Amino acid sequence: MSEQTGTRIRDFILTRFPGVELDDRVDIFTLGFVNSLFAMELVMFLEKEFDLRIPNEEMSLDNFRTVEGMSALVARVRAGASAGAGPA
């Protein structure tokens, strides 16, 4: 995964939950502090921070469980957008 993408995601989570020791492969939904509002915040953050829109087929909880998973999601969505951006 892109280290820079992971860092930005990690920073966002740590801003919201300062002091958490965050492993990039940890399932954040198992930590006890993530509620549905934070799930929505995550979606908004990824879309704004990386200037993309997460398509329906990627709106799976599994894509948001870990920093690593979210970084991979960002890479996939970007790749998909690039592949679809052909000449008019």
| Interacting residue ranges for another protein, rule: CB under 8 A | 12, 16-23, 25-37, 39-45, 47-48, 51-53, 55-61, 78, 81-82, 85
Ramachandran sector of residue 20 (left: φ over 0; alpha: ψ -120 to 50; beta: rest) = beta
- CA proximity to 6, closest of 69, 87, 82, 83: 69
We find the least distance from the C-beta atom of residue 4 to another protein, in angstroms, to be 18
We find the least distance from the C-beta atom of residue 41 to another protein, in angstroms, to be 4
Residue 52 to residue 70: CA distance in whole angstroms: 13
We find the least distance from the C-beta atom of residue 56 to another protein, in angstroms, to be 5
